[in-house]
Amino acid sequence: MDPRPRWYRVGWALPWLLFQFFPVADLVTTDRPLVVRLVAGAGLLVFTVVYLDVFHRAFGSCWTGSLLGRLAVVAALGVALAVWMGPSWAGLLIYVSAASAAALPTRWVWPAVVAAAAVCAAVLVLHGERGLLILPVLCLLTAFALRGTRHLISVNAELAEAREELARNAVAEERLRFARDLHDLLGHSLSLIALKSELAGRLAEADPARARAEMADVEAAARRALAEVRDAVSGYRQVSCAQALAEARSALSGAGIAVRLPARVPALPGPVDAALGWVVREATTNVLRHSGARSVTVSLTEDGGEAVLTVSDDGRGPADDTTPGSGLTGLAERVGALGGALTGGAGRDGGYELRAVLPLAPVPAGVAR
């Protein structure tokens, strides 16, 4: 079912209703018997309702046999009223052209439109209204406009379906990649754990010392597998420094805080880039929650040996209780694991300043600053 509202689906038909001014004016101003006016008015009303229904069905679903029947009613009433009532009603053939262009298969459109334009021209010529021969031209131009609209709607629908399909394929591909990574990471380790556990069970009574050694290997394999899984999953949670800076600009600006950011973010090693991204996020959170600042300045430099990130604000400064929160504590541990240092305190010009210094070269495990 088409989720768009009904008014949207018939919207393409509404502009052409302006041409009904002429038959309505003729119906009101021309002296005719009452029965003729009633019959013509009823015919015009049915013509309009069915015409709108044709557009609703043409743009709301696909071409069907029932749509062809409704289009036939529009064409029959349009021709009959134009021939019967005269030149003021010849504009109804424009509606017939519009409905044909919107509803018919391509191979039938132009024969139907040309036929409608010919009937319109014949009515005008037979009544001596050659000055209105612009109406048959409008029949053709209206058909061109509706065919273009129909084509654009079709192309947009195909593009939307293509985008959805690409998104589904990307999700499926990422799931397969992650499943493959986990299989590669855990397959060997879990097989080793299963084999050594089975062996330790058999040796538990016969050779307790050997069983303990096997279980120690099981523990080591399990810890190694856990570390590998954490490394794999962390790749899905990492945030780059550039991304964090963009998010900080959006969040702080939205809170009415002026933001000054680095003109460029240098290319940094992945772990350093991610750690600085977390620093920017934590600093932004603290500014929004505690500082009462009106402006924030972020600077980022690197000299080939280390990267230095500084986030300063003009807020209330450090609280009386100098015990760092859990966020800064975890952040300090993250930075320290890379051989860096995280410091925070009163800025030179007041407010609060958070500073992270990280070496660009890998730091051997177990080395801390």
pLDDT value of residue 356: 93
pLDDT in tens, 243-252: 888 888 877 7
pLDDT at 5 over 90: no
Q: What is the mean pLDDT of the chain?
A: 80
In whole angstroms, give the CA distance from residue 268 to residue 30.
83
- Model pLDDT, residue 365: 47
Which of the four pLDDT bands, split at 50, 70 and 90, describes residue 1? very low
Of the pLDDT bands very low, low, confident and very high (cuts 50, 70, 90), residue 62 is: very low
pLDDT digits (tens, 9 = 90+) for 303-352: 888 999 999 998 887 765 445 555 678 788 888 888 999 998 888 878 88
| pLDDT, tens only, 216-255 | 888 887 887 787 777 666 665 566 888 888 888 877 777 7
Predicted pLDDT at 39? 92
Query: Which residues partner with 345 through β-bridges?
Result: 353
Question: Residues near 51 by Cβ (< 8 Å), separated by ≥ 6?
Answer: 13, 74, 95, 99
Residue 63 has pLDDT above 70, yes or no: no
pLDDT score recorded for residue 308: 93
Write out pLDDT tens, residues 266-305: 888 888 888 898 888 888 888 877 778 889 999 999 888 8
pLDDT of residue 292: 81
Domains of the chain: 6-161 (no CATH), 241-359 (3.30.565.10)
**Alpha carbon 156 to chain centroid, angstroms:** 14
Closest CA to 340 of 359, 326, 322, 324: 359
Report how far residue 278's alpha carbon sits from residue 285's, in angstroms, rounded to the nearest whole number: 11
Give the pLDDT of residue 368. Answer: 47
What is the DSSP pairing of strand 295-302 with strand 258-260?
Answer: parallel
d(CA 358, CA 368): 12
Q: Are 253 and 260 in contact (CB under 8 A)?
A: no
